[in-house]
Each structure stands twice: as structure tokens, then as C-alpha cells.
Structure 1
Amino acid sequence: MVHGTGAVGHPVTAPFGAPPAAPAACQARHHALRTFRWHRGDPGDPAELLSAFLAGNGLPVRNLGRTDDKKKTFGDGTICGAALYVSADAGCVMAGAECGSPSPVPSVPDVYAVVYQHSAKKLEKSLQTGPDWKLGPWRDSWTRDEHAHAVEQVRAAIARGDVYQVNVVGHAAAPYAGDPSAALRRVAALAGARYGGVLSDGGQGGSGPGGAAPGWALATASPETLVEVRDGRVVTRPIKGTRPATAQGRRELLASAKERAEHVMIVDLERNDLARLPGTGPVRVDELFAVREWSGLWQAESVVSAPLDGDVGLADLLRAVCPGGSVTGAPKLAALAQIAALEPVGRGVSMGALGWIGHDHLDLGLSIRTVVADGTRVHAWAGGGITADSDPVAEVDEAAAKAGPLRSALRS
């Protein structure tokens, strides 16, 4: 796989800074060296092709349990790691599941990896929008009534016994003019963004090979760990359950039997995902239903982990955890079939995996709270898990609450 410019409409031209989950020692010192791209419909197994690419660049992805146990000191010009993005569609392919509607941002690959060299020069970036930045009105891909009807259809599927829970996601887009760089960095800087960062077709932003401008850039404020491998353990931190970040909201979340049941269901799914992974020891729940804050919202998070007792490669790991259970539902394959039938627009860059692969660890966030600029429009997605007792209007309102901070950051 080789570089390509892929410019669409008004190209993104300004640099962006560090990619999501890059180590602090490398922050803003990245120089894109080589790039891997795979699109839905391309031949070959994306998990295996990606592993071969990263291994060929010196990253220990064939056995993640035997990554270097010493922290590396990176000099100028050394490979410090790679940024990785895997779309929800690519996750479906890896899981052998049915893919949904096409992405509204076809210029963005479904698997994208950038190998970085460490640079002595640090890039300093401003969050201030230039005078040319203008964001137009948002247009949702479905109405509130259509979203609520999808919730009702999931409830009917649950009543039939087809599924236990399904995550339903909506899409919206807004036209823009000018350079979106600062707006995207503001998204990445939202409070609680554990994986805050920006990734573009030029690697870290700026120009692609030969000075060509990149055609897309995505920004994430994701708080959720899809999978982390560090110090001989594999960890996932599913998030399920949302309320406004007020004292009353916290009390309501902790007292909600519906939210807790939905959350525990996903924790069980994640436990099963890790248990199916070859080379892992006993799976345990280290923390259950801990309430944490993300940008004005309380969210419930658990921690599930297992030791790596045998050989575990990146390809097997991605097949086990993608797409993430908290944005699919349970059982996973049955939930993905419901999603493919219900959602009119593809999930694009959302609900996938996004993060960093280094010499001594792997850290991938779930690409929720994620937006992408494609040269003409900004795209965003938001949704929630549906159970038998979900209220359709409340679910639509919850999705809007999750999208609100993203829209505000882009608009400011």
C-alpha cells in the first residue's frame, strides 16, 4: 500500500499535531514515514495485511505479549510507533459480519496506518480558528421520528428474541468553508478525551507526499478504551450509561436499573471477546460501573482484563474485539445484522478503533465522539444502546446530548 493524495473539494492544508494516543515522549514530534490503506471491497484480509505492514516496519505486532519491556528513548529519525485507524466496516469484515450502508465519507480508508519517525522539532498548534472558517447548518441523515422508529424496531427485535441489545447510531453533516484545522484540534481537546488527537491523509496533517494536500482529517475526543495491551495484560474499558454531569444526573445514573443492566450485558460481551482470544489467561472484571465525566456528561465505565499467557498477534486481537461491543450490542453478530438493516447511512469513521501501536504497548480507543472533515463537509455520528425498556424519545435526546459538545467545539 502506498501514499496517495485523495484530495476532495477544498483540501485540508494546515498541520494538526499529534495523532490519538501518541506517547507523551513523542507528542508533537511526529514525522509521517510510511502509510497503509485498505478500503472496503479491496482484496485480502485487512487484519493480516495490516500486521504484515507494521511488522515490516519493525513494530512487534506478531506477538503483542512480547513487546519490548524497556521504555525506548527516541532519537531524531528513529521509528517511534504507528497511528492506527480501523473503521466499523473493517471491523465487520474482520468479524465475518454483515456490513451496513456505505460510508458518507468514501475518501477515508477503512484501515489506515501511519508509521512515524521521531523528530527533534516540536510543533506548536493553536486552537484559535482563522477568520476564513465558517461552518454551515447541520443536516441529519434521519429525522427525530425516524430515529425513534428505529428504536422501536430494535425493541420489537428484542421482544422476538433476535437480540438482547442493539446500538443505534445516527449521522449528521454540515458544509464548511476555510481551514478546519483549529476546529478539529478543539474537538480533540474536549474534556475527558482520553484519546484526543487528529489524524489526516497526510499522516499528522500538513502536506502529503510531494507536497500534496490531504483530502480528509478526522478528530476524536473519545473517552473509551477499546483495547490496550501493556505490561503483559490486555484490557478493555467499555462505557455504557449516560446522564448530564450534575449531582442529580449522577444519582440517576447510579440508581438506574435499566442503565446498569445494559452496562453489565456489554461487560459480559467484552469478557467473552477477550476469552475467545488465543493466548490469554483468565478474564476478570477489575472495576464495574464506575461513573466518570466526559465533557458535561456522566458515563458508566468498567475495566475488563486478562493476562497474555501465549502468543497473541495484532490480527487475532482485532478480530476478537472489533467492532467494539459497546457500539454493536449483543449477541454481536445478530446486533450487527440489525444495524445493517436499520441505519440509513454508514458509520464511516465512527464506532471503529483509533490509537497507537508502539514498541512496548498498544492502545486503541473506540472512535466515538469522532468527526471527519472531507474537504467540503464535516461529518459526525452519535447514538446509544437500545434495550427492551428503552424510551424512544429519551434515546433520541441522549444521542443529541452526546453530539452537542462536538458541534460546539467545531462552531466556536
Structure 2
Amino acid sequence: MVHGSRSIGHFPAPPFVAPPGAPGSCQGGHRASTWFRWSRCDGGDPAELVSEFLADNGLSVRNIGRTADHVRPIGAGSICGAALYVSADAGSVMAGGAPGAPSPVPSIPDVYAVVYEHVPGDDRPEPARPDFTLGEWTPSWTPSAHAAAVGAVRAAIGRGDVYQVNVVGHASAPYGGDPLPALRRVAALPGARYGGVLAGDGWALATASPETLVEVRDGRVVTRPIKGTRPATALGRRELLASAKERAEHVMIVDLSRNDLARLPGLGPVEVEDLFAVRRWSGLWQAESVVSAPVVGELDLASLLRALVPGGSVTGAPKIAALAEIARLEPVGRGVSMAAVGWVGPGHLDLGLTIRTVAVDGSRVHAWAGGGITWDSDPWAEVAEAEAKLAPVRTALAAAVLP
């Protein structure tokens, strides 16, 4: 566990890049003042440690959703909020599940938080940046190995070990020059509810995630699980709406989300506000539901993280058993993907699930994609779905390469 107050890494930090989930009032007029890092080897309870750090820096994480935003001053030197990132591995620790394979980007901590303060807007022109180049992608497993993992999940379902497991693959490519323009292109993909970039010491991540892991605002907790994918065509939409397999998979995760929220003290009755609504992300249709509950008592960040990270739509059901299958089957750790990133503000919280997310270290760019596996899953169709999810991200990265 490390925290301090120095500048954030050698990748460019704000004002040039907005962190995922940052409100408009904090974009272009804020700077990092202090930071927190935790890695699995540090030990301790990461949910409690990061909550303590944020509380010590004036954020109401011990009673989220009960303090109105307007009571906090907005002016130079006042706290704007904090960017918060939690890795898939940290999420497993918080949930009490099995840790996965080692991350392919070990330089990125498992929990990272940056507190920002308001400053006058910075209208200086950006400095010139070295041209970005991108090499060939190398997958962490072959399509055949991916298909075999799908088959192994189906066998586990047949034994009664699990009902559903999300299986994720990884690929990486060498790059040269400045990755920031490429990361910005990823963050700007259509449908990115949490589009943004977060940079650390020698690393950065960019997300185009459309999925809300948890939002606490105006006295209500909301999660918006996404499950079910088809190409964004008229035929694809009809197929998604008509698919009994996709709907069953989706409803299973909605039930898991309801149970996760119901475990939390301080919440009232959980309800499903919207079920299997079809939304568009880049070139894909995806099915989304809205599950929510009112805040009726004290609700703290640590409890939220333990209950909801990692999200059910990227683990499976039951969650702990699914995490054990993931640890057994996936050859490369999920790292920044299938985890959480977003914003902690005075009196509110907004964390996205890190799907459609990439990471860079000093030499390579990394990306992940997968899907939920049920008894009815076709292994090769699942391989094709993962490729379809990854395609817009790869295209955005390649578009940043100058001719």
C-alpha cells in the first residue's frame, strides 16, 4: 500500500485527459493532489484501506448518497472528487473468491485512487507528441483453446458446479510513440458511458465501457447489468430479442445483481426498473437491465465494493464458484478489465464496469474480451462474439496510427 502527493506518472495527466466518470464541472479545471496504490502482495483489506484514504481526504465514503453535492464548495483548492480504479484481482479478494492468473500488466496496481482539486481552467495548447505506432496483436490463447474453455464451462454446468461463467481472453501488441491519442480514440467510441483515461506511474488505461457497475446518487443505488450481444443491424436486434438463450443468461445475472444489492445494509427494497432493454454500443446491440434500491440508512464504500466487485455480468453465478472456474481456465489475468473504474464525488459515486477497456505499459497495449457461458452456448459462436466485442477497440487504436 502506497500513497503520496506527487504528480501522476509519465503518461500525460489532466488537464489533457478526463478520468472515467468525472463530472463536467471537474473536467479541464482540476489537478491531482494525492494518490493511493494497493497491490495484492500488500495484504490487508483493500476495500477498507481505500475507503480510509478517501475519507481522510474529505470525501463522504462512510455515508454515500446522504450528503448533497451542493453543500461542498467549488473553488480553487477545493476537492472536486476522486478517480477510483479496482482490478479484477482486487475484486476477487474483496468478494472472497479465488485470485486469477497473474496480470499481463504487473506495473498497474490492483487498487488506485487519485484525489483531484479544483484549479482555474488551463487553456494552454497541448505539447507536440511522438507519432503512435502499433504492431501485430498476439493473443494469450488460440481460438481453439478459447473454445475448449467454453466446453470446460459447459461441463462444469453439467456437473452442477455453476450455472454460468464469463470466459475472457486477452491479446497484446507492441507500440511506439505516445499512446495518448490512441487511448482517447478508445474512450470516444460511441455508447461509452464511462469514456475516459486514467494514467499512473508508467501506465495508463482507457475505457469505452457502457455498463454501470454501481451508481449512488439522489438517495438511490443503481446497477445496470449488460448481457446479450448481437451485431447492430435490424436482423441482429430481432435475433437478440428472440433469443431464449440470451434472455435466460441475462435474467440469471439480473437475479445475481438483485441479490448483491439485497445483501447491503442501509438499502430498502430492491426492484428491477427495466428488464432486457436493447441498447447500442458502437457496432453492437446489447441487452441492459436497471436494478435499483433506495438508500434508507448508512451506506459505505467498502461494503459496496465487497458486494458488487467484480460485477456479476463478468463473473457468472454463483459468483464465488464462477471465480474459481475463471481462475482455473483463463491463462492470463484480467488486470484492468472486468473490474471497476469511475468517480467518487462529494455525496455520490459512479463506477463503470471495465469492459471495452485497454491498458498500456511502457511497451505494449493490452485488451480483453469475452462472454457469458451457459449450457446452451456454442463454443465457436462464443469465440466469434469475443472477437466482435474487441473489434471496435482494435479499430480505434489502429486509427491513431498516422499513414
Q: What residue is the counterpart of 2:169 in the other structure?
A: 170
RMSD: 1.8
- Please report how far the alpha carbon of residue 13 of structure 1 lies from its aligned counterpart in structure 2 after TM superposition: 4.9
- Please report how far the alpha carbon of residue 30 of structure 1 lies from its aligned counterpart in structure 2 after TM superposition: 2.0
* Equivalent residue in structure 2 for 1:328, among 293, 315, 319: 315
Which amino acid in the other structure matches residue 390 of structure 2?
A
Residue range with higher mean Cα deviation, 100-109 or 68-77? 68-77
- Please report how far the alpha carbon of residue 258 of structure 1 lies from its aligned counterpart in structure 2 after TM superposition: 0.3
Say if 1:6 and 1:153 are closer, same or farther in 2 by CA, change over 3 A.
farther
Q: Distance in 2 between matches of 1:42 and 1:65?
A: 30
- Please report how far the alpha carbon of residue 65 of structure 1 lies from its aligned counterpart in structure 2 after TM superposition: 3.2
Q: Distance in 1 between matches of 2:383 and 2:264?
A: 35
Q: What residue is the counterpart of 1:95 in the other structure?
A: 95
After TM superposition, the structure 1 = structure 2 runs for residues 344-359 of structure 1, keeping only pairs within 5 Å, are 344-359=331-346
Say if 1:104 and 1:163 are closer, same or farther in 2 by CA, change over 3 A.
same
SS at match of 2:109: coil
Q: Distance in 2 between matches of 1:139 and 1:89?
A: 23
Which amino acid in the other structure matches residue 249 of structure 1?
G
Say if 1:229 and 1:409 are closer, same or farther in 2 by CA, change over 3 A.
same
Give the count of matched residue pairs: 396
After TM superposition, the structure 1 = structure 2 runs for residues 66-81 of structure 1, keeping only pairs within 5 Å, are 66-70=66-70, 72=72, 74-81=74-81
Q: Distance in 1 between matches of 2:363 and 2:294?
A: 45
Q: Distance in 1 between matches of 2:11 and 2:52?
A: 30
SS at match of 1:2: strand
After TM superposition, the structure 1 = structure 2 runs for residues 147-226 of structure 1, keeping only pairs within 5 Å, are 147-201=146-200, 214-226=201-213
Which amino acid in the other structure matches residue 37 of structure 2?
R
SS at match of 1:159: helix
Say if 1:293 and 1:148 are closer, same or farther in 2 by CA, change over 3 A.
same
- Please report how far the alpha carbon of residue 131 of structure 1 lies from its aligned counterpart in structure 2 after TM superposition: 5.9
The Cα offsets for residues 314-342 of structure 1, whole Å up to 9 and x where unpaired, read as 00010010110000000000000000000
SS at match of 1:41: helix
The Cα offsets for residues 161-219 of structure 1, whole Å up to 9 and x where unpaired, read as 00000000000000001000110011000000000000001xxxxxxxxxxxx300100
Q: Distance in 2 between matches of 1:363 and 1:393?
A: 35
Say if 1:123 and 1:243 are closer, same or farther in 2 by CA, change over 3 A.
farther
SS at match of 2:70: coil
Q: What residue is the counterpart of 1:281 in the other structure?
A: 268
- Please report how far the alpha carbon of residue 310 of structure 1 lies from its aligned counterpart in structure 2 after TM superposition: 1.1
Q: What residue is the counterpart of 1:310 in the other structure?
A: 297
After TM superposition, the structure 1 = structure 2 runs for residues 189-268 of structure 1, keeping only pairs within 5 Å, are 189-201=188-200, 214-268=201-255
Q: What residue is the counterpart of 1:35 in the other structure?
A: 35
Say if 1:270 and 1:190 are closer, same or farther in 2 by CA, change over 3 A.
same
Give the TM-score, by structure 1 length: 0.93
Which amino acid in the other structure matches residue 218 of structure 1?
L
Aligned partners of 2:8 and 2:32 also within 8 Å: no
SS at match of 2:41: coil
After TM superposition, the structure 1 = structure 2 runs for residues 392-411 of structure 1, keeping only pairs within 5 Å, are 392-411=379-398
Say if 1:92 and 1:265 are closer, same or farther in 2 by CA, change over 3 A.
same
- Please report how far the alpha carbon of residue 279 of structure 1 lies from its aligned counterpart in structure 2 after TM superposition: 1.1
The Cα offsets for residues 345-402 of structure 1, whole Å up to 9 and x where unpaired, read as 0000001010000013100000110001101000000000000010111100000000
Q: Distance in 2 between matches of 1:187 and 1:231?
A: 30
Q: Distance in 2 between matches of 1:123 and 1:287?
A: 42
- Segments of 5+ residues of structure 2 without an aligned counterpart are none
Could you list the structure 1 runs, at least 4 aligned residues long, displaced by more than 6 angstroms after superposition: 4-7
Say if 1:123 and 1:181 are closer, same or farther in 2 by CA, change over 3 A.
farther
Q: Distance in 2 between matches of 1:13 and 1:69?
A: 29
Say if 1:124 and 1:40 are closer, same or farther in 2 by CA, change over 3 A.
farther
Q: What residue is the counterpart of 1:21 in the other structure?
A: 21
Aligned partners of 1:6 and 1:107 also within 8 Å: no
Q: Distance in 2 between matches of 1:124 and 1:359?
A: 29
Which amino acid in the other structure matches residue 378 of structure 1?
V
Q: What residue is the counterpart of 1:377 in the other structure?
A: 364
Aligned partners of 2:196 and 2:208 also within 8 Å: yes
Aligned partners of 1:36 and 1:112 also within 8 Å: yes
Which amino acid in the other structure matches residue 248 of structure 1?
L
* Equivalent residue in structure 2 for 1:363, among 340, 347, 350: 350
Say if 1:247 and 1:133 are closer, same or farther in 2 by CA, change over 3 A.
same
- Segments of 5+ residues of structure 1 without an aligned counterpart are 202-213
Q: What residue is the counterpart of 2:3 in the other structure?
A: 2
